[in-house]
């Protein structure tokens, strides 16, 4: 028995018998319900088209048994016209039906894709750090398209087969009930192979989706600028090609296997249909020879009806399995839609009132380890995935532990500590990218879990360690922070971030395309653009995670001079590795192993001769000796 691994602890038994629960069908119908009027039109068109197709054997029967023997040219002309008119009319009905089916299918795929995209957007940062983006894209593309096929393909075919079989049986019984029962006697020969093959195809279908997701994940990781650069720098093109070839080969092998299984089934079906047809021809010929009530036209009509009998019979024999197989895509989409939101608005969440800017951490502890956070295990590795389970960011039980401090409105707080101490985690907790495992974080006395995420996002502006830019124009990237900003506001923000001269010198100015992840600009230029973006947002609370780490001293001096008046009226929390920033801080928070070990001003912390004093001696003393302290920090130094 083969077991496939799902996301976040979901485990699927891919060899189980097909399961079509009422709950699943009702949930699928929930997405189809807005299109129920169009679905009624489609069903009506299917009935009309089936009735038209059913008339063709009757016309041929009349042609052979009546028009030709009686030499009735008028009837002959009329029947010949019917042989042309009915297919033409049926074609028009079929086009009309397929148009409305396409509207339904494309509408459902749009609604489902938007629901899936929206839900993924609301997932916590933990979800994205533990999930391959290629797998997300696979779910949004391949699985959603598969869901569309389940609606416009499998379900429509199921309904068409039921209607066709019902009408065909009625007509055949009216012609000769004994011959009809004989033709239907081969039905058991359809059922057993159809069910077995259907279960096999369902299992292969799941394996194909998983294999495609794995292949897409590799493409997503290695065909972007960062991944491609890493592959080239380490000369790993052959290894990556070999890995991709192996995964593409698995997709190929599954495709070949699916094709062979399906073709083998149709060979069996064809053989059974041939047996039924031979029996009907023999018995029909016998009746035509020995009786006067059964004529040659009846035999021909029966022969024309047989494909319309055996085709739907074969399809309906495995209808449950076929439907379950086609609904695999819905199951995979619903797996993601059912993932709980780790960080979400509380039912009674209120917008954050106008913010003064006091930030308080009250005995805050947080862990990236899933079992501590009380979360379902994340991403059980797929069969054959050598990477193993994804490890958390830190091996410590707590990334931050029992952390308490207060930053007053308008203060600049510098976070200082060794690498991996938990500084970035503090900045991620403030905008609720994660929720603390214990304790509370408050802004102006309001617990962040009691206010809406939208109002919290409006109050906080953040420049992260990695400055990300969308593959769009500079203007679009800047206006991402404030879509209704004026041209003057945008230019003022860029001037404050010391990036306006560079933009003005570009041929296309603010309409310049920044490239994938902004790689057309240097690291320092990207950071200045990111700083301009947060300045344009004009938040009450600023969070800067090593925001000037990629800048030269002159650019840093100009940016800090521009940020000083902005910070003067706002609460600012900065992860600082430069002495000038630390000296300018109203309070320095020294973090080690996730704990707040010291806090105070520069001079106070030096006097304590603790961790900060050691960091100063090893990291910051050299800066003081080799570069003048920024003029903007001088007033703060004298106060300390």
Distance in angstroms (rounded) separating the CA atoms of residues 2 and 15: 6
| H/E stretch holding 591 | strand 587-592
Q: Are residues 247 and 133 part of one domain?
A: yes
State how far the alpha carbon of 146 is from the alpha carbons of 149, 154, 314, 411, in Å: 5, 10, 23, 54
Decide if 65 contacts 35 (C-beta within 8 A).
Answer: no
Q: Are residues 221 and 148 part of one domain?
A: yes
Mean pLDDT of 397-409: 91
Which ranges of 497-631 does DSSP label H, i.e. alpha helix? 500-505, 523-537, 553-568, 579-584, 602-608, 611-615, 621-626
Q: Are residues 370 and 263 part of one domain?
A: no
Q: Are residues 265 and 167 part of one domain?
A: yes
pLDDT digits (tens, 9 = 90+) for 10-19: 434 444 444 5
Where residue 80 sits, what CATH number does that domain have? 1.20.1560.10
User: Whole-structure pTM over 0.85, yes or no?
Assistant: no
Token readout for 565 is: 């008046």
Using alpha carbons, select from 58, 63, 53 the residue that is nearest to residue 89: 53
Where residue 369 sits, what CATH number does that domain have? 3.40.50.300
pLDDT digits (tens, 9 = 90+) for 354-381: 988 899 999 999 988 754 334 433 333 3
On whether residue 106 sits in a domain, the answer given is: yes
Identify the pLDDT of residue 513. 85
On whether residue 383 sits in a domain, the answer given is: no
pLDDT digits (tens, 9 = 90+) for 415-438: 998 888 889 899 989 999 889 999
On whether residue 348 sits in a domain, the answer given is: no
Identify the pLDDT of residue 387. 34
Q: Are residues 419 and 299 part of one domain?
A: no
As for how many domains the chain has, the answer is: 2
Q: What is the DSSP string of 290-327?
A: H-SSS-HHHHHHHHHHHHHHHHHHHHHHTHHHHHHHHT
Q: Are residues 433 and 314 part of one domain?
A: no
Decide if 322 contacts 20 (C-beta within 8 A).
Answer: no
Q: Domain range holding 502?
A: 359-378+391-639
Q: Are residues 442 and 321 part of one domain?
A: no
| H/E stretch holding 8 | none
On whether residue 345 sits in a domain, the answer given is: no
For the ranges 25-34, 266-275, 347-356, 595-604, the lowest mean pLDDT is seen at 266-275
| H/E stretch holding 635 | helix 634-639
For the ranges 30-44, 178-192, 459-473, the lowest mean pLDDT is seen at 178-192
Identify the pLDDT of residue 4. 37
Q: Are residues 322 and 367 part of one domain?
A: no
Token readout for 640 is: 């300390």
State how far the alpha carbon of 358 is from the alpha carbons of 218, 296, 309, 516, 528, in Å: 44, 95, 76, 37, 27
On whether residue 102 sits in a domain, the answer given is: yes
Q: Which residues pair with 600 in a beta bridge?
A: 588
For the ranges 85-99, 105-119, 170-184, 492-506, the lowest mean pLDDT is seen at 170-184
Q: Are residues 267 and 148 part of one domain?
A: yes
Q: Are residues 519 and 467 part of one domain?
A: yes
State how far the alpha carbon of 334 is from the alpha carbons of 153, 339, 590, in Å: 19, 9, 45
On whether residue 431 sits in a domain, the answer given is: yes
State how far the alpha carbon of 600 is from the alpha carbons of 186, 571, 584, 612, in Å: 89, 16, 12, 10
On whether residue 160 sits in a domain, the answer given is: yes
Q: Are residues 264 and 134 part of one domain?
A: yes
Q: Are residues 220 and 75 part of one domain?
A: yes
On whether residue 384 sits in a domain, the answer given is: no
């Amino acid at each position: 028995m083969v077991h496939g691994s799902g996301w976040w602890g979901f485990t699927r038994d891919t060899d189980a018998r097909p399961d079509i629960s009422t709950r699943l069908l009702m949930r699928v119908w929930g997405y189809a319900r807005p299109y129920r009027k169009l679905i009624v039109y489609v069903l009506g068109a299917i009935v009309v088209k089936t009735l038209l197709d059913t008339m063709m054997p009757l016309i041929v029967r009349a042609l052979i048994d009546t028009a030709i023997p009686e030499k009735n040219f008028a009837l002959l002309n009329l029947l010949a016209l019917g042989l042309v008119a009915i297919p033409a009319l049926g074609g028009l009905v079929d086009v009309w039906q397929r148009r409305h089916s396409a509207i339904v299918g494309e509408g459902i795929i749009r609604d489902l894709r938007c629901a899936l995209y929206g839900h993924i957007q609301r997932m916590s940062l933990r979800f994205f750090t533990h999930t391959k983006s290629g797998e997300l894209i696979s779910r949004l593309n391949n699985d959603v398209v598969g869901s569309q096929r389940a609606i416009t393909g499998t379900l429509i075919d199921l309904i068409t087969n039921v209607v066709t079989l019902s009408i065909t049986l009625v007509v055949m019984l009216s012609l000769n009930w004994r011959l009809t029962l004989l033709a239907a006697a081969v039905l058991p020969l359809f059922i057993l192979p159809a069910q077995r093959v259907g279960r096999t195809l369902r299992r292969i279908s799941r394996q194909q989706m998983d294999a495609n997701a794995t292949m897409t994940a590799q493409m997503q990781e290695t065909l972007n600028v960062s991944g491609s650069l890493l592959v080239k720098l380490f000369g790993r093109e052959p290894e990556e090609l070999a890995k991709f070839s192996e995964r593409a080969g698995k997709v190929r092998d599954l495709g070949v296997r699916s094709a062979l299984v399906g073709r083998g089934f149709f060979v069996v079906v064809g053989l059974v249909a041939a047996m039924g047809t031979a029996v009907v021809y023999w018995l029909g010929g016998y009746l035509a020879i020995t009786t006067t009530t059964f004529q040659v036209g009846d035999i021909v009509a029966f022969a024309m009806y047989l494909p319309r009998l055996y085709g739907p019979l074969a399809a309906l024999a495995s209808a449950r399995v076929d439907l379950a197989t086609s609904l695999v895509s819905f199951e995979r989409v619903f797996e993601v839609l059912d993932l709980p939101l780790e960080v979400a608005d509380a039912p009674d969440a209120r917008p954050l009132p106008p913010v003064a800017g006091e930030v308080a951490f009250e005995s805050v502890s947080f862990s990236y380890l899933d079992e501590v956070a009380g979360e379902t295990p994340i991403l059980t590795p797929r069969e054959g995935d050598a990477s193993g389970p994804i490890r958390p960011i830190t091996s410590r039980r707590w990334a931050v532990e029992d952390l308490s401090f207060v930053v007053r409105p308008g203060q600049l707080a510098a976070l200082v500590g060794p690498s991996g101490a938990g500084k970035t985690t503090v900045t991620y907790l403030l905008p609720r990218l994660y929720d603390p495992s214990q304790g509370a974080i408050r802004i102006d006395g309001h617990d962040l879990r009691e206010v809406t995420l939208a109002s919290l996002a409006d109050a906080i502006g953040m420049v992260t360690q990695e400055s990300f830019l969308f593959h769009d124009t500079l203007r679009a990237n800047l206006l991402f922070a404030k879509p209704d900003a004026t041209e003057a506001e945008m230019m003022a923000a860029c001037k404050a971030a010391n990036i306006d001269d560079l933009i003005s010198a570009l041929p296309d100015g603010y309409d310049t395309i920044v490239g994938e992840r902004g790689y057309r600009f240097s690291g320092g230029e990207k950071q200045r653009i990111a700083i301009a973006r947060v300045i344009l947002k004009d938040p009450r609370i600023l969070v800067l995670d090593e925001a000037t780490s990629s800048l030269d001293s002159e650019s840093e001096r100009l940016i800090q001079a521009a940020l000083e008046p902005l910070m003067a009226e706002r609460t600012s929390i900065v992860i600082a590795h430069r002495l000038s920033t630390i000296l300018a801080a109203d309070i320095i928070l020294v973090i080690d192993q996730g704990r707040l070990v010291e806090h105070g001003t520069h001079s106070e912390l030096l006097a304590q001769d603790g961790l900060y004093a050691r960091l100063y001696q090893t990291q910051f003393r050299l800066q003081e000796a080799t570069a003048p302290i920024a003029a903007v920090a001088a007033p703060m130094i004298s106060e300390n």
